[in-house]
């Protein structure tokens, strides 16, 4: 029995080592300032900081990868979350959206932040700086609602 456990452990360790050679593609597409949400809308500095810290890693082409992102299978888990996040809302594509999509983006942005469903709990646990207080949520929602009204007037 001990031999089986020993060989299983060695096999698992070897598998994890081999897995390190297969990393997902990084989310490092070029950023066009003419398309980026924060560049186009110029929110107050406090709100800009909140959005960059709590949202941009998964909802833009500007992911900042921590050291543990180079370890499989964590790297695959992160890549899946980033891909799903960008499919839902990608702040790096804001400028190419039509008026209705921009308004929807801004309304959805406020709704998920206000409901506490974003940032994800798994992200906030590791990134304490991404945890949003009620005041932070209100600041983001106030800005996004004002911005949605500006877009409506365009």
Residue 59 lies in a domain: yes
Smallest CA-to-CA distance from 136 within 38, 42, 53, 39 is with 53
pTM: 0.80
Task: For the chain, give the percent of residues with pLDDT over 70.
Answer: 87
What are 37-70's pLDDT values in tens digits?
999 998 999 999 999 999 988 899 988 888 877 7
What are 80-119's pLDDT values in tens digits?
888 898 888 899 999 999 999 999 999 998 999 999 898 8
Measured CA to CA, the distance from residue 73 to residue 36 in angstroms comes to: 30
Residue 131 lies in a domain: yes
What 3-state DSSP class applies to 73? Answer: coil
Please classify residue 59 by burial: count the beta carbons closer than 10 Å to its beta carbon, then call 0-12 exposed, 13-18 middle and 19+ buried.
buried
Smallest CA-to-CA distance from 145 within 96, 111, 98, 100 is with 111
- Position with higher pLDDT, 19 vs 73: 73
Residue 11 lies in a domain: no
What pLDDT score does 50 carry? 93
Domain boundaries, position 90:
25-153
Smallest CA-to-CA distance from 46 within 37, 38, 57, 34 is with 38
What are 12-35's pLDDT values in tens digits?
666 666 656 666 677 677 778 889
Residue 136 lies in a domain: yes
Residue 137 lies in a domain: yes
What 3-state DSSP class applies to 134? Answer: helix
Measured CA to CA, the distance from residue 42 to residue 143 in angstroms comes to: 10
Report how many domains make up the chain: 1
Residue 94 lies in a domain: yes
Residue 6 lies in a domain: no
* Number of H-type helices and E-type strands within the chain: 7, 0
């Amino acid at each position: 029995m001990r031999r089986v456990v020993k060989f299983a452990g060695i096999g698992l360790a070897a598998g994890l080592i081999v897995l390190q050679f297969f990393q997902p593609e990084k989310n490092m597409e070029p950023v066009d300032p003419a398309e980026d949400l924060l560049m186009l809308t110029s929110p107050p500095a406090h709100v800009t900081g909140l959005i960059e810290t709590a949202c941009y890693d998964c909802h833009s082409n500007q992911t900042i990868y921590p050291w543990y992102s180079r370890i499989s299978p964590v790297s695959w888990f992160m890549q899946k979350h980033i891909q799903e996040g960008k499919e839902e809302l990608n702040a790096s594509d804001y400028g190419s959206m039509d008026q209705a999509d921009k308004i929807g983006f801004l309304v959805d942005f406020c709704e998920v932040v206000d409901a506490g469903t974003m940032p994800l709990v798994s992200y906030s646990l590791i990134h304490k700086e991404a945890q949003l207080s009620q005041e932070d949520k209100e600041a983001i929602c106030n800005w996004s609602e004002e911005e949605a009204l500006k877009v409506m007037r365009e």
